Amino acid sequence: MAQHILTSKVAIITGAANGIGLATAFQLSKAGADVALLDFDGKTEERASEIARETGRRVLAVPLDCTNRDHVTSAFRRVREHLGPIDILVNNVGQSARERMTDFTDADLDTLDMLLAVNLKSCILCSHQVAPEMQARRSGKIINITSESAVNGSLRCWDYGAAKAGIIGFTRAIARELAPFGVTVNAIGPGATRTAAIDKMQKGFIDRIIADIPMGRMAEPDDIAHAVAFFASDRAGFITGQTLLVNGGHWML
């Protein structure tokens, strides 16, 4: 976004040290927001410094395990102390089972606890930190990153798909609750996106993924970040409870 349409806003992005989260932090900062990068990755501080140098905005790095309620409470308190009241929350942190992906019939159910915690529980815990203050101010934006896997029945993603589908249900429920107070809550479902995890896959597998995408390429992190920036802006002020798939037409609702 070329215009500073988020000037004076404070945004939190979870899972912000890499990939979609990092691209989102850059985009919101370029749009004028002061941003907090929440991640347990050791590079978070370095990434925050890069964004601050490039955009001139205030940028705060906060190490955080988003599945731990006490850590989340402490981290959000720190953001308020350093940047001020929170206007925008982007619940981006999450992951698939990756090398532990299995058919459901062969499942190690221990993986399920981790995926529900990282993807769904983290979204709920972080949203609970900002919803009361947004409701009281009668303004605010919550953007939850789900996945195309929540709607398309991706093979070997039964656990990840279930967690991400939970995010869609949660988004709709709190969107309805907070709408009378002027707070919008929306979800974005990326399709295959070129991140570090994708880059580790074999070229033949990546080629097969791309072959199924009508636009002939994977998403770049910036493709998702631009959608987040739209939902975070007043241009999306009358949109709430929606799930936007950003996937090059691979799956169409």
Which positions are annotated as active-site residues?
A: 160
Choose among 226, 219, 212: nearest CA to 247: 219
**216: amino acid identity, one letter:** G
Q: How many residues does the chain have?
A: 253
CA distance 126 to 75: 10
Choose among 129, 237, 227: nearest CA to 183: 237
217: helix, strand or coil: coil
| The token pair that represents 199 in the structure block | 């880059």
CA distance 207 to 50: 32
- Find out whether 242 and 142 touch, Cβ atoms under 8 Å: no
Residue 78 has, within 13 A of its CA and on its CB side, a CA count of: 17
Which ranges of the chain would DSSP assign to H, the alpha helix? 19-30, 44-55, 69-83, 110-115, 122-137, 149-152, 158-178, 196-199, 203-211, 221-232
137: helix, strand or coil: helix
Sequence-ordered strand ranges (E) for 72-134:
88-91
- Find out whether 186 and 240 touch, Cβ atoms under 8 Å: yes
